[in-house]
Each structure stands twice: as C-alpha cells, then as structure tokens.
C-alpha cells in the first residue's frame, strides 16, 4: 500500500503548524511566561526554539521522510536488527498519554464555547462587578463544572467524535483539508484579539512585562521550563513529526519547512502574549495566578465580561482554542493510527477505530480525576496530573534525547545532510549549525536538564 502524502506545500505546512499550534501556545505559554519572569522567559524560549527546536524538528522530518513509514517502523527500517524501534514505541505511548488528558481540556473549551453562545457563561454577573467578585464568580463556575462528572464527559466525547471524523477522512481529505481551513481562521482570530487587546487603556504595562527583559530573571530553572515549553509547543520528542515527515513528498524542502513551521508557532505564542498580558494589566488582573486552568477559564472571561458584547468575544475566543486543540489532537492520534495501519495492516477506518475507542475509556478516567475519581492517585498525583507530569518531565525529554542521538550518531554522518539537501548544494553554514545542534547541543542540554531534575 503506497503511503499517503500531503498534496500541497501549503497543505503540508498548514497541517504541521496545526499540530504545533495548540493549547501549548495559547494556554501553557502565557502561564509559563508569567511564572518565569515575563520577557526574560520569552528570550530563553526563542533561543531554545532556534538552538534545539529547529534541529530536532529537522531530525524528525528526516527520519520520517527517509523511512516513509510510521514512527516505530521508521527506526527498524533505518536500523534493522537493533532495539532502536523502542524509541518509536516510547514516543507512541507518550503521544497517546498526552492525548488522553489533552482531549479533556479540549472538551472544556467546547463546553465554554457553547456556554458563550447561549450567554450562560455570563449569566449572573454584571459588567460593573468588582474584580474580586467577578474572579470568584468565574472561579466557582469553573470549579463546579470541572469537578462535576457528567457535563465534562459529554464534551470530551464530542471532541473525540470530531477527531474521529477528521481522522477517518485520512491524511489528505481529513487532516490536510481541515488544517487548510482552520489555520487561516485561527490567525485571523488571533490578530483580531491582538488589536483589541492592544487598544485597551493601560495595555502598555502588559506589553512591557512581556517584551522588556529583566536579565536577572534568566535562571537555570527558567531555562529548563523554556526547553520543555519549546519541545511541547513544537510537537517534538514523540514521533509526531516523524509520522508527518513520512507524509512529505520527496521534493519538500525540509529546512524551509521546519523554519516556517517554527516561526509560525513562535508567532502564535507571541501574539497570544500580546493578547493576554495587555488585557490582564488593563483590567487590573496582573496579580492573578495564570497557572493551570485559571487563565483561560477565569481570567479571560473576566476580561470579556467588561467588554461590550462579552458573549460574542468569548465565543470567538473559545472557538479559537477549539480549533487549535483539534488540529493538535489529530496529530497525536495519527502517530498510533499510522502504526496500526502499517504494522497491523488495517484499513484506515479500522485503524482509526482501534486507536480512538480506548480513548473513550482513558479520557473518562482523566476527566473524572477532577470529580469522583479524585482520590485515585499514583505517586500522590491524580491520573490527569500523573500523565501530564510523566510525559512533560520525563517521556518527552527522553524521547527527544533518543531521537537526536539516533539521527546524529547512529545514522551515517551524511544521513541528515542528504535528506536536507533540497535539490542543489546544501547551504554549508546552515547545515553545520543544524548538524552540530542534533549531535551536541540537543542531547547535551537535555542530559543536563534530566540529570538536574533527578
Ligand atoms: N504542540 C501542541 C501544542 O502546543 C501539542 C502537541 C501536539 C504535542 N503533538 C505533540 C506535544 C507532540 C508534544 C509532542 O499544544
């Protein structure tokens, strides 16, 4: 069976950007930036994207395209009779774990979207409520919703079904096609919010926090977080981009593609910062903790409540989040689907069902871990927090480490150079940076981070 390919350059970029741009950019990034010192963190983050993100992305693209197969078989095809395929298995498990809790949050965004449409979200709050009372109004609302059992499940399931619909459509007619529609929509919405936010009175204070670095805040701890954020945001370390790389035609220029995707992902993070921080400072909410769910489900509704037509803006914003989440969740599921299609020789439809059906059960466990199952803990963490923690802190860095060692040291020295050579001569200096990045900088920094975290 010939492997499916993306049909156009734009489509392939839209799909890959779709994977990269997700809750990681709009939800995780501002929270990380706030706790790690604002602009200093942004600076470290940008350095990590260039130094580690782009080289590792190119390693994943190269492994995927050279092998033309799923992320487990890629390793066994490129290095037969070795145990390297286990790297692919690790990645596949991480991607599935992330999918289990990520889809629950995606479900919350769907619920909030509907609540905004019907106006329920703002029922009972007046535009002149004090900051404290409006904060407690939305906090209570969020906790009540998240900690209940059934409503979140319904929306998680809805999100799973939408994913299934897209995935059954296949690489071209499903993933590529929705990304072509949804990515431009996402950028349009982001720009709109950015303009609105920057026009708020006192927006300058927020912009300053986000863009003027305080160098004393550059700490090893902030660096570790910037590194983790870069991997998560660029979808690295678990074979997602090996899987997508296998769908790239031979003529795709990998270096340009990786550069474009990373810059668009970074742009989304920066635009999000330019939306959140000015809005938060204008409405006197800077003291609020943006960690976890509060930013999106409490602080922003507080901002919307003070604008004209709150329901409209809230609905558009949660639509934006849904779109971002959807194109990321399909990419996580695709890792395993591609494996089932290829290894177990199943049709697309059957492969999608095999992968998605267990998700109903596992995501139920994650969702209920805020409600009835909150006492089911592993190492003191609820199921949701456990999966979040082991993937972000251990599985992704270890996956990224193994992938960089494989591409940089196990494969022949000219392996990546050959894959990156567009048609003519490779640009030497660029290749030197990328090659050394994959061989030295990526594994070196990850090792330091892993060792220091133990
Ligand atoms: N990058 C996505 C985000 O920012 C999430 C994601 C998709 C991801 N695929 C991944 C994270 C693979 C880590 C690895 O939300």
Give the tens place of pLDDT for each residue, 96-112: 999 999 999 999 999 99
CA of 399 to the centre of ligand 1 (A): 13
Tokens standing for residue 243: 């899987």
Q: How far apart are CA 348 and CA 181, in angstroms?
A: 23
From residue 279, give the alpha-carbon distance in Å to each of 53, 130, 151, 340: 29, 16, 30, 45
What are the pLDDT digits (tens) for 30-71? 989 988 989 999 999 999 999 999 999 999 999 999 999 999
Residue 24 Cβ inside 6 Å of ligand 1? The answer reads yes
**Segment 308-328 mean pLDDT:** 95
- pLDDT for the residue numbered 295: 83
**Segment 131-145 mean pLDDT:** 89
Q: Is the pLDDT of residue 2 over 60?
A: no
Q: E-assigned strands of 310-442?
A: 377-378, 381-382
State the pLDDT confidence band at 267, using cuts at 50, 70 and 90.
Answer: very high
- b/e string for 234-258 if b means 16 or more Cβ within 10 A? bbbbbbbbbbbbbbbeeebebbebb
Pocket residue to mutate for ligand 1, from 94, 98, 398, most atoms within 8 A of Cβ: 98
Nearest 10 degrees: CA dihedral of 130, 134, 140, 145?
170
Residue 325 Cβ inside 6 Å of ligand 1? The answer reads no
CA of 240 to the centre of ligand 1 (A): 8
Query: Which backbone phi and psi does 379 adopt, to 5 degrees?
Result: 55, 35
Pocket residue to mutate for ligand 1, from 53, 103, 235, 326, most atoms within 8 A of Cβ: 235
State the pLDDT confidence band at 438, using cuts at 50, 70 and 90.
Answer: very high
**284 versus 207: which is more confidently predicted?**
207
Which residue from 265, 273, 159, 230 is spatially nearest to 392, judged by alpha carbons? 230
Give bridge partners of residue 378 from the DSSP assignment.
Answer: 381
Q: How far apart are CA 145 and CA 293, in angstroms?
A: 12
pTM score:
0.95
What are the pLDDT digits (tens) for 343-392? 999 999 999 999 999 999 999 999 999 999 999 999 999 999 999 989 98
Helix axes 220-233, 39-48, angle to 10 degrees: 60
């Amino acid at each position: 069976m010939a492997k499916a390919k993306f049909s156009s350059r734009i489509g392939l970029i839209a799909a890959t950007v779709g994977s990269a741009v997700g809750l990681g950019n709009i939800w995780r990034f501002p929270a990380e930036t706030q706790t790690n010192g604002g602009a200093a963190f942004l600076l470290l983050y940008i350095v990590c994207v260039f130094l580690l993100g782009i080289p590792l992305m190119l390693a994943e693209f190269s492994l995927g395209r050279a092998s033309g197969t799923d992320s487990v078989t890629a390793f066994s095809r490129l290095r037969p009779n070795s145990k390297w395929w286990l790297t692919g298995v690790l990645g596949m498990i991480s991607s599935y774990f992330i999918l289990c809790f990520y889809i629950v949050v995606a479900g919350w965004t769907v619920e909030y979207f509907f609540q905004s449409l019907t106006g329920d979200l703002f029922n009972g709050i007046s535009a002149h409520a004090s900051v404290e009372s409006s904060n407690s109004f939305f906090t209570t609302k969020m906790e009540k919703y998240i900690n209940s059992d059934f409503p979140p499940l319904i929306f998680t399931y809805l999100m799973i079904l939408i994913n299934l619909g897209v995935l059954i459509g296949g690489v071209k007619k499903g993933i590529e096609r929705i990304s072509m529609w949804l990515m431009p929509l996402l950028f349009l919405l982001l720009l709109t919010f950015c303009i609105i936010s920057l026009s708020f009175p006192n927006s300058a204070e927020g912009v300053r926090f986000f863009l003027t670095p305080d160098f004393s805040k550059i700490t090893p701890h902030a660096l570790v977080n910037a590194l983790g954020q870069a991997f998560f945001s660029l979808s690295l370390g678990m074979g997602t981009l090996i899987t997508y790389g296998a769908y790239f035609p031979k003529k795709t220029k990998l270096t340009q593609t990786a550069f474009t995707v990373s810059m668009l992902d970074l742009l989304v993070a920066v635009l999000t910062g330019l939306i959140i921080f000015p809005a938060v400072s204008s409405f006197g909410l800077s003291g609020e903790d943006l960690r976890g769910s509060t930013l999106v489900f409490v602080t922003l509704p507080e901002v919307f409540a003070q604008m004209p037509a709150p329901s409209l803006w809230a609905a558009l914003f949660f639509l934006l989040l849904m779109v971002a989440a959807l194109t990321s969740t399909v990419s996580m599921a695709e890792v395993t689907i591609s494996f089932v299609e290829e290894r177990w020789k199943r049709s697309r439809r059957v492969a999608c069902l095999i992968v998605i059906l267990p998700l109903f059960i596992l995501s139920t466990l994650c969702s209920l871990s805020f409600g009835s199952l909150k006492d089911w803990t592993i190492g003191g963490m609820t199921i949701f927090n456990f999966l979040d923690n082991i993937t972000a802190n251990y599985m992704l860095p270890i996956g990224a480490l193994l992938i960089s060692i494989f591409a940089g040291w196990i494969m022949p020295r000219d392996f990546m150079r050959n894959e990156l050579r567009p048609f003519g001569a490779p640009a030497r200096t660029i290749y030197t940076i990328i090659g050394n990045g994959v061989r030295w900088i990526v594994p070196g920094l990850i090792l330091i981070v892993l060792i220091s975290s133990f």
